[in-house]
């Protein structure tokens, strides 16, 4: 058999990236609403640019929220706390434009229907212990560790905005080698590129990258333009929901196009995508497949999905339609059912808004649990036996 090779690349961005800053502000406002009123309907969008923040959206809630205070606190936490950073939580202008949810949308949500139409995807594979694709898993770990190094003061020249990119070489669909790593990190004006390159290679990469995947052939690019002093909202306008591939699987599998941040769980863009990940991860954890992608589609105002599709890419121990049937029997796919099963009416969302919504086995990330793997495996075994008996009777 001929050995097949290919490269696959994923990127991540830090919490100081302007788009991620907006995601965190939108989700912090969502959390503030859910703390006071778990039934809040929230669709909150943020935009940052040089010296300015705009917050707009539709909120129907009993909560009393100081939107400006919430937003400034997020900006401070991220690290934009002085004019030297190019954006300052104390002095930036904040404008808010908030109204109630459309009554036309509310009619459908009030009766338990989906808050919008659309299709959502979940994915899992056995490349990492978190059952995530390796390229995005490593890309997230790189920028997360870089942020930790910055916040702990280990490298005092670092600034909040940074990006990572990881290219993995696959042989016969298995990751075998890191072909390239790209790190772009904002810095102060007093540090030389040679110093940044040395620190990234000797501190960051050595801490994060597995030694068995990294060798002298691995290409490393650090601040490839030569300088990254101007970053964050000073360098680039940021918007909520503009990093949907970073938020999910790094380009692996399909994406329905809906963003997550700033949306309460009645919006299936978010809750059904979390649920699809939960199901896909538990299918892989059950041993039923090495890869699993699930699509769930909804019509606005309708509780049950219009379709559920599974693709195990030829790695399944059971037929894909057989897995669909078992999942439909075991789980409630309605928006209210998803919210209940994953306990989503809690203020858990700000921390999801940077470093990926998936692959993080932390408190609050209920969709990352594999507590359904055993019952899925048992149900599939029973359905397999039933199928065999049915064939014999014919």
Q: What is the pLDDT of residues 128-184, one digit of tens each?
A: 999 999 999 999 999 999 999 999 999 999 999 999 999 999 999 899 999 999 999
Coil, strand or helix: which one is 389? helix
In the prediction, which pLDDT does 394 show? 38
Q: Is 263 assigned a ligand-binding role in the annotation?
A: yes
**Is there a binding annotation on residue 163?**
yes
Residue 45 assigned to a binding site: yes
Annotated binding residue at 101?
Answer: yes
Same domain, 205 and 302: no
CB neighbour class for 372 (10 Å; exposed up to 12, middle 13-18, buried from 19): buried
305 shares a domain with 223: no
Reported as a pLDDT band with limits 50, 70 and 90, residue 113 is confident
Residues 6+ apart with CB under 8 A from 63: 32, 33, 34, 35, 36, 37, 40
Tell me, yes or no, whether 142 lies in a domain. yes
At 320-358, the pLDDT tens digits run: 999 999 999 999 999 999 999 999 999 999 999 999 999
CA distances from 96 to 62, 91, 130, 231 (A): 18, 16, 38, 24
Give me the pLDDT at residue 103, please.
64
Question: What is the value of pTM for the model shown?
Answer: 0.94
Q: Are strands 5-13 and 238-239 parallel, antiparallel or unpaired?
A: unpaired
Exposure on the CB side of residue 198, measured as CA atoms within 13 A: 6
- Structural domain ending residue among the three candidates 230, 251, 286: 230
- 131 φψ region: left (φ > 0), alpha (ψ -120 to 50), beta (else): left
Q: Are 281 and 214 within one domain?
A: no
**Contacts of residue 62, Cβ cutoff 8 Å, sequence gap at least 6:** 36, 37, 40
CB of 219 closer than 8 Å to CB of 166: no
- Integer Cα distance of 29 and 190 in angstroms: 36
For the cut 50, the answer to whether the pLDDT of residue 388 exceeds it is no
Shared domain for 212 and 304, answered yes or no, is: no
Domain-located, residue 110? no
> How far is residue 25's CA from residue 142's CA, in Å, rounded to a whole number?
23
Given a cut of 50, whether residue 227 has pLDDT beyond it is: yes
Alpha-carbon distance of 286 to 170, in angstroms, equals 24
Same domain, 288 and 204: no
Residues 6+ apart with CB under 8 A from 37: 61, 62, 63
Predicted confidence (pLDDT) at residue 116 exceeds the cutoff of 90: no
Based on the fold, state whether residues 280 and 369 are members of the same structural domain: yes
Rounded CA separation 55/44 (Å): 7
Verify that 147 and 215 share a domain, yes or no. yes
Residues 213 and 277 grouped into a single domain: no
pLDDT at 392 over 80: no
Residue 392 known to bind ligand: no
| 71 marked as part of a ligand binding site | no
* 219 and 274 inside one domain: no
68 is in an annotated binding site: no
Give tens-digit pLDDT for 63-111.
999 999 999 999 999 999 999 898 999 999 999 999 886 665 654 565 6
Q: 31 in the Ramachandran plot: left (φ > 0), alpha (ψ -120 to 50) or beta?
A: alpha
Task: For residue 121, report the phi and psi dihedrals to the nearest 5 degrees.
Answer: -120, 145
Residue 318 lies in a domain: yes
Domain that holds residue 304: 118-125+267-382
Mean pLDDT, the chain, whole residue set: 93
Q: Does the residue 91 lie in any domain? A: no
The pLDDT score that the predictor gives to residue 277 is 98
Residue 54 domain-assigned (yes or no): no
Please check if 177 is assigned to a binding site: no
Query: Is 185 among the domain residues?
Result: yes
Q: Give the pLDDT confidence score for residue 1 in this predicted structure.
A: 43
**Does residue 302 fall inside a structural domain?**
yes
Structural domain total, the chain: 2
Flag whether pLDDT at 28 surpasses 90.
yes
297 in the same domain as 213: no
Q: d(Cα 181, Cα 189) in Å, to the nearest integer? A: 24
* Residue 216 lies inside a defined structural domain of this protein: yes
Write the CB contacts of 304 (distance below 8 Å, at least 6 apart in sequence).
Answer: 333, 334
Q: Is 320 annotated as a binding residue?
A: no
Tell me the CA end-to-end span of the chain in Å, nearest whole number. 38
C-alpha gyration radius of the chain: 22
The whole-number pLDDT of residue 342 equals 98
How far is the C-alpha of 213 from the C-alpha of 251, rounded, in Å? 21
19 is in an annotated binding site: yes
pLDDT of residue 391: 42
Q: Same structural domain for residues 292 and 218? A: no
CATH of residue 217's domain is 3.30.300.10
Which residue in the block uniquely carries the two structure tokens 């904040």? 94
Q: Are residues 218 and 287 in the same domain?
A: no
The pLDDT of residue 310 is: 97
Q: Within a 10 A sphere around the Cβ of 330, how many other Cβ atoms?
A: 14
């Amino acid at each position: 058999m001929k050995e097949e090779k290919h490269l696959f690349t994923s990127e991540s961005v830090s919490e100081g990236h302007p788009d991620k800053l907006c995601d965190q502000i939108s989700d912090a406002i969502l959390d503030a609403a859910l703390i006071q009123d778990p039934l809040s309907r929230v669709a909150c969008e943020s935009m940052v640019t040089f010296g300015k923040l705009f917050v707009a959206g539709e909120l129907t809630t009993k909560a009393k929220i100081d939107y400006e205070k919430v937003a400034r606190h997020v900006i401070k936490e991220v690290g934009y706390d002085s004019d030297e950073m190019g954006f300052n939580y104390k002095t930036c202008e904040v404008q808010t434009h908030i109204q109630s949810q459309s009554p036309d949308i509310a009619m459908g949500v009030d009766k338990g229907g989906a808050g919008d139409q659309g299709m959502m995807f979940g994915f899992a594979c056995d490349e990492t212990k978190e059952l995530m694709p390796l390229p995005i898993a490593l890309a997230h770990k790189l920028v997360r560790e870089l942020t930790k190094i910055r916040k702990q003061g280990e490298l005092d020249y670092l600034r909040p905005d940074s990006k990572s990119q990881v290219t993995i070489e696959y042989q016969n669909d298995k990751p075998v080698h890191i072909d390239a790593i790209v790190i772009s990190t904002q810095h102060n004006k007093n540090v030389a590129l040679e110093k940044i390159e040395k620190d990234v290679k000797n501190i960051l990469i050595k801490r994060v990258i597995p030694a068995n995947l990294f060798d002298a052939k691995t290409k490393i690019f650090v601040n490839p333009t030569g300088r990254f002093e101007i970053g964050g909202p000073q360098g680039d306008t940021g918007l909520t929901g503009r990093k949907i591939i970073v938020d999910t699987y790094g380009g692996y599998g399909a994406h329905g196009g809906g963003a997550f941040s700033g949306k309460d769980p009645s919006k299936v863009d978010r809750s059904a995508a979390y649920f699809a990940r939960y199901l896909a991860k538990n299918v892989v954890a059950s041993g039923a497949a090495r890869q699993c992608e699930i699509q769930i589609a909804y019509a606005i105002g309708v509780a049950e999905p219009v379709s559920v599709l599974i693709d195990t890419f030829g790695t399944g121990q059971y037929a894909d339609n057989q897995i669909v049937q078992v999942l439909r029997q075991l789980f409630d796919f309605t928006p209210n059912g998803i919210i209940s099963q994953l306990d989503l009416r809690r203020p858990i969302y700000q921390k999801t808004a940077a470093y990926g919504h998936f692959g993080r086995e932390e408190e609050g990330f209920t969709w990352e649990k594999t507590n359904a793997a055993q019952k899925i495996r048992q149900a599939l075994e029973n359905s397999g036996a039933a199928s065999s008996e049915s064939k014999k009777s014919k």
